[in-house]
């Protein structure tokens, strides 16, 4: 496969064969080496073949092999000639990250870290097969899916201000739960307000470094050692089922014969099935917003209980990592509404966009990029360049470089806990084996990923945060 | 030659999990695929024999049947907190253009006494294979 180097961090697969547009990869030479080892580039090429694709198929700095689309894949489609693909969103619809700030500093909580984690562990159900604390009937679940975080705030979870500081303001209005399968409903109902497992986590962090004091101040992050809370989870079984259901329905309708990859299945955006998927996906997006809204609420309660106050525990922002939605972008000087797919990518809008809350509109959108369990995470700010370069998108995380199986052979959960403790990080997890599988050593270096984002201008560095307490589902 | 056949094995897969399961028959290979999948989330040997679920799934072809069978186990985990220990009385039938699978899932409802680890989010068709020679091998990649 021909790959042209266009700049220090920009690579292109020129249009060839069935490709309708070129594919562009934003990454470093070093990260490209690991990208080349799996099927990422081939998958990007496949995406570039889809009907109605605009400009280019993009791969973010943390790209790796996915299903259909690569993880770290971004593609935008024309409203009338374009398509929508469940593989372009992923199985964990609206897997995302919420960041809360506090007005506590690391010394304030040093002796209480264990207690905070223990209490959060009690309040927030985590791990495989764990039920949520509230019982939902179908009508409440539908309300959750239709109204997203608005539902949560009305029911006492968090504040209206949280909604302003959530992507889509916490609610995709396109949601229609009538198109969810009975299975999706039954998988979702017991799981609202649960963290899940795998790479999902909840971290108490401290600010380690501030790169851009001006912007970070706007985000409410003002001092070194200030305590933050990061929540990383998604739409749980409901979202997984929506993805599986619509892959199946689209396969039944359109067949898989001409597809290079079965999960690249798609439906025309304007078709009934395309619309039903979009409305079901939007329902799962809203479910995930509620999930994080509830967990954030419980975390605030724990801080109040253990530290005596949750004053100033404002939401910084909540971003989606797996989503498709309609946005206006410039194509050849013309403003057009496109369906932007982001799979393992973060929206990164620059100043002035109406999608971002007024308080942030002069600087750009907060972009939250979690590292792997126990390592640094980053806060970036969206840019106008990103809108030109990648439909306003950047990376979403570190990305694995070692299989779970290999990680299990190499690491021991107890030892990792000890190593983290030596670095001043408390760890609480549902299982040792899970800890070993998610060992920091099994992931790529997130520093390199955000550095590329910053250099290319997809999202600029604002602050670096490091964990002091980790809860792993 | 080994006379005791390996039930399943895991293969290298960076982000997710890939396994092959083996059997003298397609039923046995499907059973072992289910065990390979649940072993990514819990140790089936440690689950008690308390509850039995009757399962019945259909598929357009054998691959879709395997997909739907494994997905059904995930569905029972999420909706009923059901942890599978064994698959019994599994039977595959072909009826005209459809494939049908019936089985009994034996296990228990999740509680504090059980340890669970990784989470399988979804079954995929990625690199899925069903190979029939003297025996049967099925290969599956699951999203984690």
Interface check A307 vs B, CB under 8 A? no
A67: closest chain B residue by CA? B126
Which CATH number fits the domain that encloses residue A228? Answer: 3.90.1860.10
- Write the pLDDT tens digit of every residue in A155-202: 999 999 999 999 999 999 999 999 999 999 999 999 999 998 878 899
- Cβ–Cβ below 8 Å for B124 and A92: no
How far is B74 from chain A, CA to nearest CA, in Å?
8
The yes-or-no verdict on residue B46 having pLDDT over 50 is yes
**Which residues of A participate in catalysis according to the annotation?**
396
Residue B144 has pLDDT above 90, yes or no: no
Integer CA distances (angstroms), A327 to A256, A257, A324, A354, A407, in order: 29, 32, 10, 11, 40
Domain of A215 in residue numbering reads as: 4-401+443-472
Mutate to test the interface with A, among B79, B110, B141 (most CBs of A within 10 A): B79
> Residue B12 — very low, low, confident or very high, per pLDDT cuts 50/70/90?
confident
- What is the pLDDT, as a whole number, of residue B4? 61
Query: Are residues A91 and B121, on separate chains, in Cβ contact within 8 Å?
Result: yes
CB spacing of B115 vs A92 below 8 angstroms? no
Residues A164, A183: Cα–Cα separation, whole Å: 32
User: What's the pLDDT tens digit per position in A207-226?
Assistant: 999 999 999 999 999 999 99
**CATH code for the structural domain at B18-110+117-143:** 3.55.10.10
Q: Specify if A279 maps to a domain.
A: yes
Query: Does residue A425 lie within any of the structural domains?
Result: no
The answer, for A399 touching chain B at a CB cutoff of 8 Å, is: yes
Residue-averaged pLDDT of chain B: 92
**Would you give the distance in Å from CA A387 to the centre of its chain?**
18
CA atoms within 13 A on the CB side of A241: 28
Residue A431 lies in a domain: no
Q: Is residue A359 part of a domain?
A: yes
Specify the DSSP class assigned to residue B136: E
| CB contacts, 8 Å: A263 with chain B | 124-126
Closest partner residue to A433 among B71, B117, B143, by Cβ?
B117
Percent helix, strand, coil in chain A, to 5, is 40, 25, 35
Min Cα separation A56/chain B (Å): 25
Q: Considering the domain boundaries, does residue A181 fall inside one?
A: yes
The mean pLDDT value for B52-58 works out to: 96
Confidence (pLDDT) at B1 = 42
Q: pLDDT tier at B16 (50, 70, 90 boundaries)?
A: confident
Q: Which residues in chain A have their CB less than 8 angstroms from residue B144's CB?
A: 198, 404
Please say whether the beta carbons of A471 and A203 come within 8 A. Answer: yes
**Packing angle between helix A236-254 and helix A272-307, nearest 10 degrees?**
170
CB contact under 8 Å between A131 and B126, yes or no, is no
Domain assignment present for A435: no
A207 and A226 Cβ atoms separated by less than 8 Å: yes
Q: Single out the residue of A314, A262, A319, A261 nearest to residue A288, CA to CA.
A: A319
Work out the percent of chain B whose per-residue pLDDT is above 90.
Answer: 81
Which residues in chain A show pLDDT less than 50?
A: none
Within a domain: residue A455? Answer: yes
Residues of B with CB under 8 A from a CB of A: 10, 12-15, 17, 40-42, 60, 64, 71, 74-75, 77-79, 81, 83, 110, 115-119, 121-126, 143-144
The interface pTM score, or ipTM, of the predicted complex is: 0.89
Shortest Cα distance from B57 to chain A (angstroms)? 13
DSSP B92: E
Pick from B117, B121, B124: which is nearest to A431 by CB?
Answer: B117
In a domain, A246, yes or no: yes
| Angle at CA of residue B33, ends B58 and B24, nearest 5° | 90
**Total domains present in chain A:** 1
Measured from the Cβ of residue B110, the count of other Cβ atoms closer than 10 Å reads 20
Domain boundaries, chain B: 18-110+117-143
Beta-carbon separation of B118 and A198 below 8 A? yes
pLDDT > 70 fraction of chain B, expressed in percent and rounded: 97
Cβ-based contacts under 8 A for chains A and B: 113
Q: Which two tokens stand for residue B65?
A: 């049947």
């Amino acid at each position: 496969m021909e790959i042209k180097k266009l700049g220090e961090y920009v690579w292109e697969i020129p249009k060839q064969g069935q490709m309708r547009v070129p594919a562009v990869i934003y990454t470093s030479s070093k990260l490209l080496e690991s990208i080349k080892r799996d099927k990422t580039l081939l998958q990007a090429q496949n995406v570039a073949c889809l009907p109605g694709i605009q400009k280019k198929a993009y791969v973010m700095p943390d790209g790796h092999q996915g299903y259909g689309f690569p993880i770290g894949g971004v593609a935008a489609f024309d409203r009338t000639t374009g398509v929508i693909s469940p593989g372009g969103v992923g199985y964990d619809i609206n897997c995302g990250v919420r960041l809360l700030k506090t007005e506590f500093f690391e010394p304030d909580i040093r002796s209480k870290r264990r207690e905070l984690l223990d209490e959060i562990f009690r309040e927030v159900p985590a791990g495989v097969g764990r039920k949520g604390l509230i019982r939902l009937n179908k009508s409440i679940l539908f309300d959750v899916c239709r109204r997203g975080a608005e539902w949560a705030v009305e029911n006492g979870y968090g504040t209206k201000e949280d909604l302003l500081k959530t992507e889509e303001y916490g609610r995709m209005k396109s949601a229609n739960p009538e198109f969810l399968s009975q299975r999706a409903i039954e998988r979702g109902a017991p799981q609202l307000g649960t963290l899940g497992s795998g790479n999902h986590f909840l971290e108490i962090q401290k600010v380690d470094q501030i790169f851009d004091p001006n912007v970070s101040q706007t985000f409410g992050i003002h001092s070194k050692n200030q305590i933050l809370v990061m929540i990383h989870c998604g739409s749980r079984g409901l979202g997984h089922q929506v993805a599986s259901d619509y892959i199946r329905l689209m396969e039944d309708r359109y067949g898989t014969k001409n597809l290079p990859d079965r999960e690249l299945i798609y439906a025309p955006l304007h078709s009934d099935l395309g619309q039903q998927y979009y409305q079901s996906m939007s329902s799962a997006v809203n479910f995930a917003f509620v999930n994080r809204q509830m967990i954030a609420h419980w975390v605030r309660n724990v801080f109040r209980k253990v530290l005596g106050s949750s004053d100033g525990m404002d939401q910084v922002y909540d971003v989606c990592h797996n989503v498709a939605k309609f946005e206006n972008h410039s194509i050849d000087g013309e403003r057009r509404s496109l369906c932007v797919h982001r799979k393992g990518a973060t929206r990164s809008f620059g100043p002035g966009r109406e999608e971002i809350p007024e308080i942030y509109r002069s600087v750009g959108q907060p972009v939250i990029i979690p590292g792997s369990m126990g390592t640094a995470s980053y806060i970036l700010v969206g840019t106008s360049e990103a809108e030109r370069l990648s439909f306003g998108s950047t990376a979403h995380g570190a990305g694995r470089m070692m299989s779970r199986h290999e990680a299990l052979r190499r690491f021991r959960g107890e030892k990792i806990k000890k190593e983290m403790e030596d670095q001043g990080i408390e760890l609480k997890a549902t299982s040792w084996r899970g800890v070993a599988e998610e060992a920091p050593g099994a992931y790529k270096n997130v520093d390199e990923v955000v550095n590329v984002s910053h250099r290319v201008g997809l999202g600029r560095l604002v602050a670096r945060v490091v964990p002091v307490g980790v809860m792993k589902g | 030659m080994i006379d005791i056949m390996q039930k399943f094995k895991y293969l290298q897969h960076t982000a997710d999990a890939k396994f092959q399961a083996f059997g003298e028959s397609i039923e046995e290979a499907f059973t072992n695929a289910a065990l390979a999948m649940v072993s990514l989330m819990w140790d089936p040997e440690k689950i008690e024999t308390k509850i039995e679920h009757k399962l019945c799934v259909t598929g357009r072809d054998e691959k879709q049947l395997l997909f739907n069978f494994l997905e059904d186990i995930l569905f029972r985990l999420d909706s009923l907190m059901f942890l599978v220990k064994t698959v019994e009385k599994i039977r595959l039938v072909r009826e005209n253009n459809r494939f049908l699978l019936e089985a009994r899932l034996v296990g228990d409802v999740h509680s504090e006494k059980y340890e669970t680890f990784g989470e399988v989010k979804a079954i995929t068709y990625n690199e899925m294979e069903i190979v029939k020679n003297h025996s049967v091998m099925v290969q599956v990649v699951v999203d984690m």
